[in-house]
Amino acid sequence: MQSGTVPVVLELLDICKSFGDNRVLNDFCLTVHEGEFVTLLGSSGCGKTTLMRIVAGLEPPTSGRVLLEGADMEGVGPEKRNINMVFQNYALFPHMNVFQNIAYGPKLKKLGKAEIAARVDEMLRLVQMQGFEKRMPSEMSGGQRQRIAIARALINNPRVLLLDEPLGALDLQLRRQMQHELKNLQKELGITFLYITHDQEEALNMSDRIVVMKDGRIEQEGSPAEIYDHPRTSFVARFVGSANVLQGTVKEISEEALLLETPFGCFPCSRDGMAAAVGESVTAAVRGENIAILAEATAPCHLTGVVKEKTFAGGMLRIVVKLGEETEMVISRQGINIEYAIGEQVALEWPACHCVPVDRGDGR
């Protein structure tokens, strides 16, 4: 958590945006502290790009305010805001070479030729693209253009750097590499990054804070660990790290945990400070890597099901277990095979601490 002494660099107050009848952003509020790496995470259409454009000044909000270092940005054009954006398609000027592209901002500020040259040189070193000064954008690969776009934005020393899914067009290897580089760059420069992605892995890897968005609203906000281990809604649980979401009725209550009853057995769930009563319906989420598959149940509270599918994906074994007609659970573990065949009955168990209640409706 940020300490109170770190200055607030960007504040978004009740931002609403509608395009005609279409409401894209609903009373969006966000506070960004200096030096933070904040990621807006969500699937397409959730409004994250629109929000970023509002922050950049490319779109006006229908209502709400944007405060940059305390100053109200209403009526202030993008060129006057000390914010720069790295576009999804890089938007490098095709009629200018690398040097001219990067020098564009400083040139507008009418800096001296020598100073501009020095700054551009520094930026190229930063993004490891020295020697590329005379190249044209059309002569470079996607990854190279990416770096030039970043250099072009950073040279202006923006208070906030906006990045709109910058790694979306790159292949997996390159993407992973760039994630590292961007994170290091951010740490080195200490510039506040506001980052957009739909890739939860990326968000978890790079961010200081993740803001999960859905339908123009914030679903949950917090550090990667918080988001991952303590999702508050079933949406977040499923979106980040694909958890299993189950519903059950409260059977037993203890100080730290609950026992929830389902048609296929019962399972434990941590209370996480929640008030509960026996017979109440509770939705809980548990991650596939925390579930144990056993031939014989060891705990009295367990779920029973039938192995339906086994696939090996992304270095992990993914097992689908069917409970009843409609419900399925996905378990993931290392290794290439399990000792249970398809169609075999198995028991599923996990400790209470790995299961969290979601969709509590109490705003937490």
Partner 1 sequence: MSKPSVGTKKRDFWWMCVVPLYLFTLAFILGPMIYMVAVSFATNNPSGYGFQWIFTLENYLRIQDPTYLQCFRQSFELAFSTTALTILIGYPYGYYMGRLSPKGKKLMMFLVMVPFWTSSLIRLYGWLILLQAKGVLNGLLQALGLIEDPIKMLYTYPAVLVGMVYALMPFMILAVYSSVEKMDWSLVEAARDLGASPVKAFWTVTFPLTLPGLLSGVILTFVPSMGLFFIADLLGGNKIVLVGSLIQDQLTRGSNWPFAAALAVLLMAMMTLMIVVYRKVTHVSELEGRL
What's the closest the beta carbon of residue 8 comes to partner 1, in angstroms? Answer: 22
d(CA 357, CA 125): 48
Q: Determine the interface stretch with partner 1 among 54-62, 184-192, 315-323, 324-332 (rule: CB under 8 A).
A: 54-62
- Is the separation of the CB atoms in 69 and 75 below 8 Å? no
Nearer to partner 1, 33 or 53 (CB): 53
β-pairing verdict for 63-68 and 209-214: unpaired
x-marked contacts with partner 1 along 113-152 as a string, rule CB under 8 A: -----------------------x-x-------------x
Nearer to partner 1, 70 or 94 (CB): 94
x-marked contacts with partner 1 along 74-93 as a string, rule CB under 8 A: ---xxx---xxx-x-x-x-x
What sign for the dihedral angle of Cα 86, 72, 17, 58? Answer: negative
What's the closest the beta carbon of residue 109 comes to partner 1, in angstroms? Answer: 7
Q: Within positions 247 to 286, which residues make up the interface with partner 1, using CB under 8 A?
A: none
Binds partner 1 (CB under 8 A): choice among 54, 66, 116, 153:
153
d(CA 348, CA 105): 59
What's the closest the beta carbon of residue 55 comes to partner 1, in angstroms? Answer: 11
* Residue whose entry in the numeric block shows the structure tokens 């203890």: 254
Amino acid (one-letter) located at 17: K
β-pairing verdict for 83-86 and 160-164: parallel
| Residue 34, C-beta contacts closer than 8 angstroms, at least 6 positions apart | 6, 7, 8, 9, 190, 192
What's the closest the beta carbon of residue 178 comes to partner 1, in angstroms? Answer: 20
What's the closest the beta carbon of residue 158 comes to partner 1, in angstroms? Answer: 9
Token pair of 318 as six digits: 């993914």
Nearer to partner 1, 73 or 323 (CB): 73
d(CA 348, CA 244): 12
Give the angle subtended at the CA of 300 by the CAs of 298 and 305, to the nearest 5°. 75
x-marked contacts with partner 1 along 93-112 as a string, rule CB under 8 A: xxx--------xx--xx---
d(CA 174, CA 188): 21
Nearer to partner 1, 196 or 301 (CB): 196
What's the closest the beta carbon of residue 45 comes to partner 1, in angstroms? Answer: 19
Binding footprint of partner 1, residue count (CB under 8 A): 24
| Residue 64, C-beta contacts closer than 8 angstroms, at least 6 positions apart | 12, 13, 14, 15, 16, 27, 28
Nearer to partner 1, 152 or 214 (CB): 152
Q: Determine the interface stretch with partner 1 among 24-32, 51-59, 214-222, 299-307 (rule: CB under 8 A).
A: 51-59
d(CA 329, CA 341): 16
Nearer to partner 1, 148 or 301 (CB): 148
- Is the separation of the CB atoms in 48 and 39 below 8 Å? no
What's the closest the beta carbon of residue 151 comes to partner 1, in angstroms? Answer: 12
What's the closest the beta carbon of residue 76 comes to partner 1, in angstroms? Answer: 12
Token pair of 283 as six digits: 């939705």
Nearer to partner 1, 160 or 331 (CB): 160
What's the closest the beta carbon of residue 20 comes to partner 1, in angstroms? Answer: 13
> Euclidean distance between the first and final Cα of the chain, in Å?
16
Cα 273 versus chain centre, distance: 26
| Residue 189, C-beta contacts closer than 8 angstroms, at least 6 positions apart | 126, 154
What's the closest the beta carbon of residue 107 comes to partner 1, in angstroms? Answer: 9
71 binds partner 1 (CB under 8 A): no
Q: Given the rule CB under 8 A, which residues bind partner 1?
A: 56-58, 77-79, 83-85, 87, 89, 91, 93-95, 104-105, 108-109, 136, 138, 152-153, 156
